[in-house]
């Protein structure tokens, strides 16, 4: 049997799932919906979403509505007579007119009902979770509220950061997509327990600001905000290449505790971290030791 698929998604996570569907011999993706092209970078170059690029490479029809309620969109999806509509990080809620066309399966990068919303992977790292995963679910009109179909769990290594965890969950989501479609008629959907539900918001740049009150929280922000927004002090100084040293001893926030090769050990109100790279606002990144030596900062002094 070949399954007819209409696919909705936008970023790299969604692109990888689409690639898995395209490569599967029993899947036939005939239509892709994704977000409109957006300006990217300082030069604001109009850039297509990764999902669009892949779809066009395989000569698959692409639609880019600002809203799924736009004229002709529901009719276009219906005309393809899909067995399933598969959705991954699409960026829009599906209206009832679309949900009624075919079973809509969403691949969400958390163990629902935890972390509904826009930033589930970052949230699992911010909270220092030991386990996360991917959930396939039947979509309804609410945000990530539909009945759950299947899950794949993953134990998070203590030093794993956002990019590596995102890749792991992407790989798991690809596997789960095929499994859920192929076993769909055998799966009994499980309602989410609303009392256990949590919601995570879109990450803002301001979320990356750190105050060195708690080393564990600081380190988890470093893990969660890899790439963007990163972590930085209130004066714009950025920190990179962090290691958690200890979580219990009391220190002055930002206190230089020791120099260690090209790194420095810095105290927090509770605990301490090793920092490899420091970048003052509007300047180049340097080794943390060079930063301190260049400013005459000695052990016992604050680094800012």
pLDDT at residue 287 above 90?
yes
- Strands (E) in the chain, as ranges, are 3-9, 27-33, 38-40, 45-47, 61-63, 84-88, 104-108, 116-117, 131-138, 148-155, 199-200, 231-232, 238-250, 256-260, 263-267, 270-279, 286-287
Q: Write down the pLDDT at residue 59.
A: 98
* Inside any domain, residue 302: no
- Mean pLDDT over 72-87 rounds to 98
Q: How confident is the model at residue 135 (pLDDT cuts 50, 70, 90)?
A: very high
Q: How confident is the model at residue 183 (pLDDT cuts 50, 70, 90)?
A: very high
Query: Token pair 């970048």 is at which residue?
Result: 279
Farthest-apart Cα atoms in the chain, separation = 71
pLDDT at residue 42 above 90?
no
Query: Token pair 């803002």 is at which residue?
Result: 204
What's the pLDDT tens digit per position in 143-156? Answer: 999 999 999 999 99
How far is residue 18's CA from residue 55's CA, in Å, rounded to a whole number? 8
Residue 183 and residue 80 in one domain: yes
Residue-averaged pLDDT of the chain: 97
Of 33, 35, 48, 36, nearest to 82 by C-alpha is 33
DSSP state of 255: B
Residue 156 and residue 289 in one domain: no
Residue 184 and residue 42 in one domain: yes
Look at residues 183, 200, 217 and tell me which one is the last residue of a structural domain: 200
Look at residues 200, 234, 266 and tell me which one is the last residue of a structural domain: 200
Q: How confident is the model at residue 84 (pLDDT cuts 50, 70, 90)?
A: very high
Q: Which domain holds residue 241?
A: 205-294
* Inside any domain, residue 301: no
Residue 154 and residue 35 in one domain: yes
- Mean pLDDT over 185-209 rounds to 97
pLDDT at residue 41 above 90?
no
What's the pLDDT tens digit per position in 52-72? Answer: 999 999 999 999 999 999 999
How far is residue 12's CA from residue 166's CA, in Å, rounded to a whole number? 10
- Mean pLDDT over 85-92 rounds to 95
Asked whether 85 and 6 are in contact (CB, 8 A), the reply is yes
């Amino acid at each position: 049997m070949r399954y007819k698929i209409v696919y909705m998604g936008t970023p790299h996570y969604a692109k990888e799932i689409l690639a898995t569907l395209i490569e599967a011999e029993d899947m036939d993706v005939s239509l892709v919906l994704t977000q409109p092209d957006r300006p990217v970078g300082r030069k604001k170059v109009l850039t297509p979403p990764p999902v669009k690029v892949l779809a066009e490479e395989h000569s698959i029809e692409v639609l880019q509505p600002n809203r799924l309620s736009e004229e002709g969109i529901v009719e276009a999806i219906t005309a393809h007579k899909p067995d399933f509509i598969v959705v991954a990080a699409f960026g829009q809620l599906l209206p009832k007119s679309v949900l009624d066309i075919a079973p809509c399966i969403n691949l969400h990068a958390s163990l629902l009902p935890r972390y509904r919303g826009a930033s589930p992977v970052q949230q699992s790292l911010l909270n220092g979770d030991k386990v996360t995963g991917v959930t396939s679910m039947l979509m309804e009109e609410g945000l990530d509220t539909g009945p759950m179909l299947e899950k794949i769990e993953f134990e998070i290594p203590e030093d794993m950061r956002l990019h590596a965890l995102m890749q792991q969950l992407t790989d798991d989501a690809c596997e789960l997509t095929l499994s859920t479609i192929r076993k769909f008629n055998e799966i009994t959907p499980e309602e989410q327990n609303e009392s256990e539900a949590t919601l995570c918001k879109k990450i803002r740049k301001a979320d990356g600001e750190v105050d060195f009150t708690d080393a564990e929280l600081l380190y988890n922000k470093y893990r969660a905000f890899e790439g963007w927004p990163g972590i930085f002090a209130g004066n714009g100084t950025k920190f990179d290449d962090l290691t958690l040293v200890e979580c219990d001893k009391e220190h002055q926030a930002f206190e230089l505790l020791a120099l260690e090769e090209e790194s420095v050990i810095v105290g927090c109100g509770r605990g301490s971290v090793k920092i490899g790279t420091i970048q003052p606002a509007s300047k180049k990144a340097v080794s943390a030791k060079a930063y301190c030596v260049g400013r005459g900062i000695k052990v016992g002094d604050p680094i800012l």
